[in-house]
Structure 1
Amino acid sequence: MTKKNRFATPNPALAVGTAHAGFTVTRVEAVREISGTAYLMRHDATGARMLWLACADTNRSFSIAFKTPPVDDTGVFHILEHSVLCGSDRYPVKEPFVNLLKTSMQTFLNAMTFPDKTMYPVASTNVADLENLMGVYLDAVLHPAIYHRPRIFEQEGWHLEADESGALSYNGVVFNEMKGALSDPEDRLYQEVCRQLFPDTAYGHESGGNPRAIPSLTYEAFLDTHAHHYALANSYTILYGDLNIDRELALIDERFREATAHEAGAPNPLALQAPVRAPRVTIEMATAPSNSSIALSYVLGTAADRARVLAVDVLLDALCGSNEAPLKRAVLDAGIADDFSAMLVDGVLQPQALLMLRGLRPGAGEKFRSLVESTCAELAEGGIPRDKLEASLAQAEFNLREGDFGGYPDGIALSIAAMSSWLYDDERPLDYLRYEDALAELKRGLDDGLFERLLRELVCESAHSAEVELVPSETGDAAEEAAELERLRAGMSEKDVEAVRAEVAALRAEQEAPDSPEALAALPRLGIADVEPPAPEPEALEAEAPLPCTAHELDTHGIAYVYHYFDLRRLEFSDLPYVGLLSDLLGKLDTELHPASDLDTLVETNLGGLDFFTETYARDEDLAYAAPALVVGASALSEKVDALATLPAEVWGKTRFDDLARMRDILTQRRVALEQYFVSSGHTAAAARANAYFSSAAVASSAMAGLEYYLFLRDLLGNWEERSTELPARLSELAARVFTADDVLVSFTGSPDDRERFWAAGGTLALPVTGGAEHRLSVPTPSPRNEAFVIPSDVCYVVRASGRSGRDAGTIGCWQVATRPLSYDYLWNEVRVKGGAYGCGFRRTSERLSAFWSFRDPSIDATLARYDGAAAWLAAWDGTDEELEGYVVATVASHDAPVKPRQMARRQDVARFGGKEPGWRDVVRAEELAATADNVRALATVLADESVPRGICVFGGRDAIEASTVPFDAVVELVR
């Protein structure tokens, strides 16, 4: 018998007008999209808004948000977001946010600055833990320490520093974060588009802060902004999940009542921008020539029209969602740039459709807008292909029903979605949680020209649009900043410079001063006794099927997922970059049965997704082990399982590789995407590269999808005329060797009935048995080195990696626990707080490899020196029993964090290929629970082991790399 969902229908005890712990219910509505009920309330004493999304989810969440529209580019709300989490009246420690990361059972803990709001969301599966998190966050936003600790502003926002010669520089966490963010050409371009579209409203300003404006923000203005905006009358609180609502409301009411005296002033206005059709403008930026780009944007209306916003999302996918979509095809065929894409920018009062052109050819700036608008006019007049619209609508429906929010728990994602309408209308908190009615309206619109009318209104008749071209140049913000600092220094006396040094020394002293035992004791914490036994993880089954099949019989809510793992060890190492090409091209070219355009439509209509990617499996005990695979992943609603069995097989078995022009377009887009990845996520790229100094599996991965693949791809495209002629034959022959039944495992996640129908429809999936070659892959032996890769950025990503140590007797679980004090105590304080990097951390893999990393870091040498100090710090770590218990609790909670069915299946698949025994996670969990302070301190001998091979990998700007004293074995110009 199915258990009754008590949240699906409204609770009479929470009827409109009823009072609960200082709150009055003002509205109640069932929300079938979450199988629950929404209760809207007001706090009687303060007017604070409250929404409870009541449903059966035990991964519960809390969020408090404030309307925070900026009036300038100083990033004051971003700096406040960081700063209020640096201590409060009730919790007077320097970094309660970090303490919670270290010691709570949270499944999500963060804060976010949006263009018009700031949110503070947390989630946990443990009710007591959630209440602890709520209490700390509420005190942080309502009673922050910023009013009596001004150096929080200097640390998180900006401050001046002076070196021995008296030369000045800026530092600060947000300052450096935004230098990194605005080193990305797309971010810079988008910032200018918004400035042109919204010249008179908050959206014309950079809410995160522009480094050229951040130093103009004063401490007094910072405090005044908090007082005016962090008032409860300007707040929005959202609870989610299976909660005792009266208990939680009582907790919140207590904190709200304490805060009434802190309310002050009125917040900044959030107004509608009157339509403007801005002329094309050009901006310059110091970046690689390949980053030349144009953004063209059209405002589509307001957030109040939920169906229209969803319709634009569907429309953009139909027109630009693949290389075969009609608008994207027209732009690519015009040959004016390397790549073209479109996206919906929503979650704001006036959403926009943003079209971006990258890698411009001569004359692109003069042609782009007219090409887009003439093509859209033709489509609006002649009709958008119905099959494309139906496919895009089917894809949107699948995504909405699946509700896979990536790394966000459902409650956090839904809270953010609720703010997409609630912020602008107190009576509309549910618009973006609902989608059934909007989908029905769009389906009806297929027959009455809704999408053609929408395209005509959005583009052809737009009264609100802007176009911005970004031109790479030799000089940029760094030169302007340097000149500004020189002017500032010229106006200062030696006494002034000494005052700067003295203030930095005082800041350092405050940063280094330990929290008092009394302050630490005030923080709520859980103990090991609060850790509940883990939910049993269903084991995979070996299923009867025409091919080897592992089955994950999990509740997927009517969706089937299948992954096909094709072993690549029968190939030569020199084949692996071409496997990377295969994974990038498959699904985007003609097959023998369908042209690429029709194939794209079929896939979107029938599947939730179809992905081709590579990965390599390692073995903990053997660094020389490498088992690369080409993985084909697909998903579909239960009623479309037949397509799940046949469409992927058509792609891998019948793709034609004879359209060199189309292949070049696809591979150029991949090159551009990798270059953007290096700039925005250089810490991840650097860590992967550094791992390849020691692990054969990482070497293989790099050849197929990492840095080595990028270099191969760049060379291939740079010599296309000579090298492309061999591609059709080579890729066809390689596909024939890869896609066979000889070395494949199929992983199916879903119901047994769906699995049976999948195999009945697919048979052997058109995979031949070839009796192919034995495993013969030989991966080059890794070797440690020091490397620097030059990217167009004003910040760096610094990784130092180490190989195995003979002194390492620590268990995987103990290392997991030790990672927390290293990352959240030592590195956080040294690299982030003192050094100004936006992020930092330490990781140790189950193969006994370790790495320190930093993110958006102003330094190289200073950061490496701080890495060197980690061993001595850990050896002397004097954490209390309570501290250690907190680390253990947080580590185990992270281990136990709930995952979606697809994620669980993938985790089990990868563990299988890595040779891990069933129950290995339980072993690691037990090791985490058994960790002692002595065990943790003992690991310092591993970090201090000078005999261990080490390597350094830096991604960063040329000036910073050239200024470093590191003896790099190679300095590579990565993005040209």
Structure 2
Amino acid sequence: MNTTLTTLAPGARLGRYTVQRIQTLPDIDATFYELRHDLGARHVHISRDDDNLTFCVSFPTVPSDSTGVAHILEHIVLAGSKHYPVKDPFFSMLPRSLNTFMNALTWSDHTAYPFSTRNEKDFFNLLGVYLDAAFFPLMRKETFLREAWRLEYATIDDSASELKLQGVVYNEMKGAMASASSQMYRALGKALYPDLTYANNSGGEPRDIPNLTWEGLRAFHARHYHPSNAYFYTYGNLPIERFLEPIEAQVMSQFETLDLDVSIPDQANFAEPRTLDLPYASSDTEKGAQSLVAWKVSPSHESFDVLRWNVLADVLLGNPAAPLRRALIESGLGSATADGTGYHEDFREGAFSAGLKGLSADKAEQVEELVVETLRAIADEGIPADLVDAAIHQLELSRKEVSNAGWPYSLKLFFRFATTWQFGGDPLRFLKLGEDLSRLQRERQAGDFFERMIRDELLVNPHRVRLTLVPEPALAERTEADERARIAEMSRDFTDEDKARVVGEAVELARLQEAEDDTSVLPTLELADIPRTVPRTEYDADDIKPGVTVGRSAQPTSGLVYLDVQLGVPHLTPEQLDVLPLYAYAVTRSGAGSLDYVGLARRIEAHTGGVGASTSIGTGPDDLGDLRASLTFSGKALSRNAAELVAILGDLLTDPKFDEERLSQLLRQQRSGMEAGVVSAGHVYARGLATAQLSPAAALAERQDGLTALARLKQLTDEQGAPSVLRQFETITEALKSARARVLLTGQKEDLQLDLTPVLAPLTGAATGLLRPELRARTPQARTTDVPVSYHAVAYRTVPYSHPDGPALLALSTLLASKYLLRELREKGGAYGGFATYNAQGGLFTMLSYRDPHTRRTLEVYRGARDFVHGGTISADDLKEAILSASSNLDPLTSPDTIARLRFFGDLAGYTPDKQEAFKARLLDVTLEDVRRVFDTYLREENAAYGTVTGKDPNPETADLGVVYEVARI
């Protein structure tokens, strides 16, 4: 393969690849290449002047049951392969890499393996590991037992002890399926497509996972993970041959063509609407239900169909002023839109759905009537053209923006077409919307286009389901009882030989987990590959008045303008600080200036790419007691709308309009969102409970965003507390006008003279103050809720950023995470995750578990960390990899929208490039003696603070360890 990009043309051959299409993508300065391999593999390559090299291979995977075979296979292929026969090459590569993204993902009907990195050597290291894993996994029996499921005695070598079901995925899905959002999504697939693969849980239903066999898993891999069933994606600034050659050499040359059919047929249409009620574990029988009305709509492989449904969904539901969303919220039937509300193109035939949560189950029929009647009224009265224009504007802006915020931009491009590509859709049409947008505008001009969609494809469409999640307080206990009964049934006829087999498998698995791998077979980087500098993005800054600083930075933003207004709030009272996150949530969702919340929402939608407000808490680089808190208003817009963006932010700063009814709605929505997050982010809440005992900054953060904040929200909503919050909001608005302000404008050079007067004029910068939040007493904290697994945290206070020990603590965290906690908590303990983190800017060190079946054992693991650090098993390579991994945390992936923000606000906070480079230089010199010393200095048991989120009182298991929790119900 020596053809250059400039000589390529459709029909050209690159080895056994045929170039099918080449198209420029001028909006993002890129070129699209579509290729087909002789084996049948499809390949899209996007050539772009971006060093964040990216790869993904995905496979249509269509399970015929809910054993979780596709999900479990995703775990197991990453756990040892032909050329890398170690236990966990995926996790072993994390500390050997400078990746900007690395993961594997399973959807209802496909599985993908993406990664990205800015280091060319690293890219090809990871490429070799990913290709070998996907196509040549070892899929050992012991890996199946570890990751999928196994029977195991509580004391593994004692058959007289309690018999349990264990497995990483088994425990992961016990936690995942405790989430209402996961339950709703699974129910959506089951209800709308009962005859297709979507009726199954590709992640795995805990009750069905034990039906999966090792042989069945291997057969599923053979059927689905073959080049003839593969979709490849590459991206970056290297010649296309550099990507194709290793794929050909390492994979394609090893296979023959295979005739596969993993297609998904159409779902037969329903003759009449249906209903489906599902129980889920919740003790809130009064307000814990959700009801969703869902339709099967047009196929997801036609780009125009996907476009028109995305636009209609945004018109109906996309913002607080959207007519269907507004009708749902203002009905008072529930507190927030139901999980699953919106348009779903990730099914072969799309789905549109809308509903409410935070209601009693007996209101489900009213929700359905409300959705249908509101849609009928919208169709009859007509949709104002400006609402559709605004929705199209949002779509165009999102397609124009080049941002690595959230996900790498390279993968955002891929996910625009990844799902529909496997359904036969044209990936290029999903990247170049011009033709479809032109068609949409022609259809609109003919009149009544979206109204006819509502009438013809929703109102008279009998393929409709009303889904209701019904809270059942006893479900968790019944599920546990069912699990015990299942185990009893599986072991009813156990002979002594069967018991010995279970003991033998567990003992052997434990032995293999303890055995040291020869990870030298894995590729790695060296410390010399780590860049020793940090970006020094240029900006101009002026103090336009005392206490008000304005920065302007020219960046290649593709015609967008970004504006950030950061207000220091040390002068707020403790009561005001407690409700400040509620203020941030409400201020952009209420009214401003002369507009109510509906008018403001439409103004924001029509002229910007979104505005938001957020709170942040931090400390200075030299003193953990130097506490800073701020409220930041941010927004973005196309340059032609930049003046309107400034005007909107000006109104939000100086003249927000709150009213009691709307605020009551927002408080209920915020409560619903936080309650839903407990199951998915339990480790974050557990960490907050622990760190609040150690640091004033963490104590304030927990009061604002942790379980203390959720308890406050519950009280406010239960006691109709909007009037008291409203009074606080009025005082906050006045106080913000005197806040010390830092304002940053990012855009193309010609946009930097934008007049910022509407934002700057009212700011006086005169306020002063000193934050002194109350520190929570050092008492272990536990919160119980409806989860069958646990989330455990232990935390320690350490040193400020500029202290010489900070880099060693960061290296220690990555060393513990990759070499100790992963093995002890996940591989041996069956938890889905085990982490160690070090917040260098907050001086807090934590160890965490995620979706953990254990309590006492996990605390014992935490206490065993010192023995690991001092045990003599840590090699020079282990330390090198820990430093590599730690250094990647210091060099985040940036883009034009974020790079100036990091520099400007970092400089003003004292985290200058010089200090960052000094931190990195000390990190590269960390020794094993440093790691042991900082462990003994800071991670002593007498300094430990504990936090837990769990399903039951942990004290019976932990009291004799000296950890006695103060327990409360969430």
- Please, what TM-score do these two structures have when normalized by structure 1? 0.93
Aligned to 2:153: 162
Q: Following TM superposition, by how much is the alpha carbon of 1:278 offset from its aligned partner in structure 2, in angstroms? A: 4.6
| Matching of residues 455-470 of structure 1 within 5 Å | 455-470=454-469
1:488 to 487, 490, 504: 490
Aligned residue type for 1:526:
L
Aligned to 2:315: 318
Q: Following TM superposition, by how much is the alpha carbon of 1:758 offset from its aligned partner in structure 2, in angstroms? A: 3.1
Q: String of CA shifts for 1:852-908, please: whole Å, max 9, x gaps.
A: 011111112111111111111112354444443344334334433431233333433
Distance 2:920 2:879 in 1: 15
Distance 2:433 2:128 in 1: 33
Aligned to 1:838: 832
| Matching of residues 766-785 of structure 1 within 5 Å | 766-767=761-762, 769=764, 771=766, 774-785=768-779
Distance 2:168 2:390 in 1: 44
8 Å Cα contact 1:26-1:41 kept in structure 2 = yes
Q: Following TM superposition, by how much is the alpha carbon of 1:776 offset from its aligned partner in structure 2, in angstroms? A: 4.8
Q: Following TM superposition, by how much is the alpha carbon of 1:81 offset from its aligned partner in structure 2, in angstroms? A: 0.6
SS in 1 for 2:488: helix
Q: String of CA shifts for 1:461-497, please: whole Å, max 9, x gaps.
A: 2232222111111332333222222333433345433
- 1:120 is aligned to 2:113: yes
Aligned to 1:757: 754
Decide whether aligned partners of structure 1 residues 961 and 305 sit closer, same or farther in structure 2, where only a CA change above 3 A counts: farther
Q: Following TM superposition, by how much is the alpha carbon of 1:768 offset from its aligned partner in structure 2, in angstroms? A: 5.3
- 1:608 is aligned to 2:609: yes
- 1:435 is aligned to 2:433: yes
Decide whether aligned partners of structure 1 residues 815 and 244 sit closer, same or farther in structure 2, where only a CA change above 3 A counts: farther
Aligned residue type for 1:159:
R
- 1:861 is aligned to 2:860: no
Decide whether aligned partners of structure 1 residues 809 and 903 sit closer, same or farther in structure 2, where only a CA change above 3 A counts: closer
Aligned to 1:4: none
Which range is displaced more, 381-390 or 263-272?
263-272
Distance 1:407 1:871 in 2: 35
Decide whether aligned partners of structure 1 residues 159 and 265 sit closer, same or farther in structure 2, where only a CA change above 3 A counts: farther
Which range is displaced more, 296-305 or 797-806?
797-806
2:144 to 153, 157, 168: 153
Distance 2:870 2:938 in 1: 10
8 Å Cα contact 1:23-1:41 kept in structure 2 = yes
Q: How many residues get paired?
A: 949
- 1:506 is aligned to 2:508: yes
Decide whether aligned partners of structure 1 residues 763 and 332 sit closer, same or farther in structure 2, where only a CA change above 3 A counts: closer
Aligned to 1:39: 33
Aligned residue type for 1:491:
D
- 1:973 is aligned to 2:969: yes
8 Å Cα contact 1:55-1:242 kept in structure 2 = yes
Q: Following TM superposition, by how much is the alpha carbon of 1:208 offset from its aligned partner in structure 2, in angstroms? A: 0.8
SS in 2 for 1:145: coil
Aligned to 2:77: 84
- 1:898 is aligned to 2:893: yes
Q: Following TM superposition, by how much is the alpha carbon of 1:831 offset from its aligned partner in structure 2, in angstroms? A: 0.6
Decide whether aligned partners of structure 1 residues 540 and 479 sit closer, same or farther in structure 2, where only a CA change above 3 A counts: farther
SS in 1 for 2:945: strand
8 Å Cα contact 1:336-1:363 kept in structure 2 = no
2:481 to 474, 479, 494: 479
Aligned to 1:826: 820
Distance 2:83 2:607 in 1: 55
- 1:399 is aligned to 2:392: no
SS in 2 for 1:822: helix
Aligned to 1:566: 567
Aligned to 2:713: 713
Decide whether aligned partners of structure 1 residues 691 and 336 sit closer, same or farther in structure 2, where only a CA change above 3 A counts: same
8 Å Cα contact 1:299-1:350 kept in structure 2 = yes
8 Å Cα contact 1:628-1:701 kept in structure 2 = no
Q: What 5-or-longer segments of structure 2 have no aligned partner?
A: none
2:21 to 23, 27, 31: 27
8 Å Cα contact 2:740-2:764 kept in structure 1 = no
SS in 2 for 1:758: coil
Q: Following TM superposition, by how much is the alpha carbon of 1:600 offset from its aligned partner in structure 2, in angstroms? A: 0.7
Aligned-residue identity in percent = 28
Aligned to 2:300: 303
Distance 1:173 1:383 in 2: 52
Distance 2:60 2:308 in 1: 27
Q: String of CA shifts for 1:897-945, please: whole Å, max 9, x gaps.
A: 4312333334335534543344222112212222233333433323653
Aligned residue type for 2:322:
A
Aligned to 1:196: 191
1:743 to 730, 733, 740: 740
8 Å Cα contact 1:229-1:267 kept in structure 2 = no
SS in 1 for 2:428: coil
Aligned residue type for 2:630:
A
Aligned to 2:521: 522
1:293 to 290, 293, 300: 290
Distance 1:684 1:710 in 2: 13
Which range is displaced more, 591-600 or 886-895?
886-895
Decide whether aligned partners of structure 1 residues 889 and 950 sit closer, same or farther in structure 2, where only a CA change above 3 A counts: closer
| Matching of residues 235-246 of structure 1 within 5 Å | 235-246=230-241
8 Å Cα contact 2:191-2:465 kept in structure 1 = yes
- Please, what TM-score do these two structures have when normalized by structure 2? 0.93
SS in 2 for 1:301: strand
Aligned residue type for 2:313:
L
| Matching of residues 508-907 of structure 1 within 5 Å | 508-516=510-518, 520-532=519-531, 534=533, 536-543=535-542, 545=544, 547-657=548-658, 659-720=659-720, 723-740=721-738, 742-759=739-756, 762-763=757-758, 765-767=760-762, 769=764, 771=766, 774-804=768-798, 811-846=805-840, 847-907=842-902
Q: String of CA shifts for 1:155-175, please: whole Å, max 9, x gaps.
A: 111111122544222111111
Aligned to 2:344: 345
Decide whether aligned partners of structure 1 residues 917 and 13 sit closer, same or farther in structure 2, where only a CA change above 3 A counts: closer
Q: Following TM superposition, by how much is the alpha carbon of 1:824 offset from its aligned partner in structure 2, in angstroms? A: 1.0
SS in 2 for 1:731: helix
2:212 to 211, 217, 220: 217
Which range is displaced more, 906-915 or 176-185?
906-915
Which range is displaced more, 818-827 or 934-943?
934-943
Aligned to 1:93: 86
Q: What 5-or-longer segments of structure 1 have no aligned partner?
A: 1-8
Aligned residue type for 1:295:
L
Aligned to 1:57: 50
8 Å Cα contact 2:321-2:602 kept in structure 1 = no
Aligned residue type for 1:865:
E
Aligned residue type for 1:854:
S
Q: String of CA shifts for 1:28-47, please: whole Å, max 9, x gaps.
A: 22233442222222223x33
8 Å Cα contact 2:105-2:113 kept in structure 1 = yes
Distance 1:58 1:26 in 2: 25
Distance 2:215 2:578 in 1: 56
Q: Following TM superposition, by how much is the alpha carbon of 1:377 offset from its aligned partner in structure 2, in angstroms? A: 1.0
Aligned to 1:328: 325
Aligned residue type for 2:906:
A
SS in 2 for 1:548: strand
Aligned to 1:359: 358
8 Å Cα contact 2:746-2:900 kept in structure 1 = yes
Aligned to 1:3: none
Distance 1:640 1:336 in 2: 37
8 Å Cα contact 1:788-1:968 kept in structure 2 = no
Decide whether aligned partners of structure 1 residues 789 and 830 sit closer, same or farther in structure 2, where only a CA change above 3 A counts: same
Q: Following TM superposition, by how much is the alpha carbon of 1:80 offset from its aligned partner in structure 2, in angstroms? A: 0.8
Q: Following TM superposition, by how much is the alpha carbon of 1:777 offset from its aligned partner in structure 2, in angstroms? A: 4.0
Distance 1:602 1:179 in 2: 43
Distance 2:765 2:927 in 1: 54
